[in-house]
Chains A and B, each alone.
Chain A
Amino acid sequence: MKRFILLTSLALLAAASIVLGQATVQSTTPATLRTQSGDRQIAIAHQNGQTYFSAEDVVAGLGGSVAADAHGYRVTINNNVAAFGPDSRFGVVRDDLIEMPAAPVVIDNHPFVTIQFFQGFLAKTADLDVVWDERAKLMQIRPLQHTVVGVQVSVANVQGISKIVFTLSQSSGYAIVKEQGGYTIRFAAQIRPPFNEQAYEDPNVAKITFSGTDARIQLTSPDVAGDAYKLDNPYRVVLDVRKVAPSPNAPVLPQSNKPVEQPGIHTIVIDPGHGGKDIGASGPGGLLEKDATLAIANKLAASLATKLGARVILTREDDSVVSLDQRTGVANQYKADLFLSVHMNAAPVKGAHGSEVYFLSLEASDELAKKAAESENASSSGHTPSTQGDLKLILWDLAQQEYLAESSRFAQSIQEEMNALAGIQNRGVKQAPFKVLVGATMPAALVEVAFISNPDEEAKIKNEQFQNTVVDALTRAVQRYKTDYETRIGIAQPAPPAPAAPPATTTTTTTARTGT
């Protein structure tokens, strides 16, 4: 009994020491914060292998403030706001997450956070970097180091084609935007331009102006078409521009900032939803969505190539896993003019039936919209945006937003054709934040052919004749949208011939089908 009591006591002692250890209030130690305005002392604490920094001390050193409320803490620096809570390792800034390795801790009612909070906040809002030197106990806040890419420009006219070559000291992403009377090439990297503005005595190119990361090419006439491509060794972005015959109607230049290679709908990416271990929804009879989408997408690709003479690319041609980003990535890489994702629907309500067509809705937060507007203004007024990383992020997040009006027209066209199909009830065009549509830099829509969760519709989806009917409807929808779009931008559009489908040519990840 004595031994039992002794052991129990020892166990209790051990337990008590563990609990005591956990409950010990962390002591803080001093460190130095170095900013452009000088050094000041801050408090830090160590716990569970992490170094925590006093949010109040660091924020005060940056001229900001920390306010507590029932939910956590709100940090304000130069009108930029971030928030964190004591129980979450995720903070928020401008609707984006700040991921920390551990949740903040509260010591004597003062919040302490890991360095990642400041890194996330300051990189997104102030273009600042935060570095910690544990040995010197020194936190430094300094401007983010950007690589500046040198740019040289040449313009030459060869047989009526003006070749504008931007030679870069290293590779950089870029987007080409067609605007009224010219093009803008927006480089992803910060650039060192050779001049601010230069005029040219060229039949097609009036002048080139640099502003921030943009190079604007002003054309001599609206009746000029462009074709862009890139070359390596050295890295060059080339824009060939040539005169085209004015269209009978007044030329309507697209206002949607659509990147222009060749105007019109020539390349279409069809995305069979799901694949591989991602089976999608399953029908009560065992039909898998991934199989149904592939069957219909294959038929649709062949139909579009044959009937429209389009170059059609599938994001997958077999039962393979393709990530959602890869799907839009394929469309962007091939500079597709249209993107259509094919899916089968599912609902918990028995008897759900009919088709649905979606295009993207993105709830740009007030903060995001404000920032996008600021970036726009900064670009147009010639000031380099102070938050380059953020600008890139916003542009990507809003990539599809530039095409929403066209995506809406495209979706509407599909809806009307699906509606006309006997036995398919129209559920209308809808908007939702689809991951697969977010990054698409072209008009994009997603069609839910029918409800695989409904046994009657599952049987239909399996039926080859029904599949053909759907494919015909989708082909008509694409044809209608293509004609409508090309008419609006002033391209003469002869009635497409109906050549025989050529054999498919296969690339490593996609199948391209091109009509003749």
Chain B
Amino acid sequence: MRRVAIALALLAIAGGCREKKANPNNPNEANKVEVRAVRVYFESPNMLLIAEPRNLPLPENPAAAIPAVLRELTKGPSNANLARLLPADTVVRAAYMLPDGTAFVDLGGPTLTAGWGTGTHEELMAVYSLVQTVTANFAEAKRVRVLVNGEPAETLGGHIWLGKSLQPMPLLVEPGSR
């Protein structure tokens, strides 16, 4: 019985140690969650980006909320008239912000890892659906830098250069969704 007590005491110590001290500088620190209206972008029948509204429980910290919004984007549209842009198996591995307004989006998944065989239009719109979704929902984000599997990537599918941060391109967005 005594040994059980010791074991439980050790468990309590381990559990106590696991609790990290809250760090105000860590954007991924879980904080207050509230339901927010966000807009995620898909392709319209006019072949432009169009916003689909969603209500999501999001952490208050915008940097912590970006991955949650992007994961909603990868689920695809609920409106059948809109088209999914990123491959269905895309995984948002991480997303975070730096103080200069650069949002990093780290993608993965079998298709993007193997090399996405697609055309210019689809790739262009997929990349800018990320850019538009991040910058439209988070005022602090001025530009988006896309990584694949944690590393800088040349392109997602052989066309659109990811070697620089990308700013929103309003010409690709339906006028009502800009």
Give A contacts to B, CB under 8 Å. 2, 5-6, 8-9, 12-13, 15-16, 19-20, 22-23, 67-74, 81-88, 90-92, 95, 97, 99, 106, 109, 111, 273-274, 277-282, 289, 324, 343-349, 352, 356, 358, 361-363, 365, 397, 432-436, 438, 446, 448, 451-453
In contact, B118 and A435 (Cβ under 8 angstroms): no
Q: Which of B23, B26, B28, B118 contacts A281 (CB 8 A)?
A: B118
- B68 is an interface residue with CB less than 8 A from chain A: no
Contact digits for B9-34, partner A, Cβ 8 Å, 1 yes 0 no: 01101100110100111111000000
In contact, B83 and A435 (Cβ under 8 angstroms): no
In contact, A451 and B119 (Cβ under 8 angstroms): yes
In contact, B120 and A69 (Cβ under 8 angstroms): no
In contact, A99 and B117 (Cβ under 8 angstroms): no
For A86, list chain B residues within 8 Å (CB): 23, 25-27
In contact, A349 and B160 (Cβ under 8 angstroms): no
In contact, B18 and A23 (Cβ under 8 angstroms): yes
> Which 3 residue pairs across A and B have the least CB separation, nearest first?
A346-B119, A348-B83, A435-B161
Give the contacts of B37-86 with A (CB-CB under 8 A).
Answer: 43, 45, 47, 61-63, 83-85
Tell me the nearest residue of chain B to A290, going by C-beta: B117
Tell me the nearest residue of chain A to B161, going by C-beta: A435
Give B contacts to A, CB under 8 Å. 3-4, 6-7, 10-11, 13-14, 17-18, 20, 23-28, 43, 45, 47, 61-63, 83-85, 94, 96-100, 102, 104, 115, 117-122, 124-125, 140, 143, 145, 147, 152, 154-155, 158-161, 163-167, 169
Q: How far is the CA of A356 from the CA of B91 in the complex (A)?
A: 30
For A451, list chain B residues within 8 Å (CB): 119, 121
For A90, list chain B residues within 8 Å (CB): 104, 145, 147, 152
CB distance from A348 to the nearest CB of B (A): 4
- Which applies to chain A's interface (DSSP): helix, strand, loop or mixed? mixed
In contact, B124 and A432 (Cβ under 8 angstroms): yes
In contact, B98 and A72 (Cβ under 8 angstroms): yes
Tell me the nearest residue of chain B to A69, going by C-beta: B99
Q: How far is the CA of A280 from the CA of B119 in the complex (A)?
A: 7
With A87-B27, A279-B117: A348-B122 Cβ-Cβ less than 8 Å? yes
In contact, A9 and B25 (Cβ under 8 angstroms): no
For B25, list chain A residues within 8 Å (CB): 68-70, 72-73, 86, 106, 109, 111
Q: Which of A22, A279, A346 contacts B122 (CB 8 A)?
A: A346
With A9-B10, A347-B119, A363-B166: A435-B160 Cβ-Cβ less than 8 Å? yes
For A277, list chain B residues within 8 Å (CB): 115
Q: How far is the CA of A6 from the CA of B169 in the complex (A)?
A: 64
For A73, list chain B residues within 8 Å (CB): 25, 99
Q: Which of A92, A324, A434 contacts B98 (CB 8 A)?
A: A92
For A8, list chain B residues within 8 Å (CB): 7
- Other than A71-B63, A289-B119, A434-B161, give 10 A-B pairs with Cβ distance below 8 A: A16-B11, A71-B98, A71-B99, A72-B27, A86-B25, A90-B104, A95-B165, A346-B119, A347-B83, A349-B45
With A85-B98, A280-B158: A347-B104 Cβ-Cβ less than 8 Å? no
Residue among B11, B121, B166 having the largest count of chain A Cβ atoms under 10 Å: B121
In contact, A95 and B98 (Cβ under 8 angstroms): no
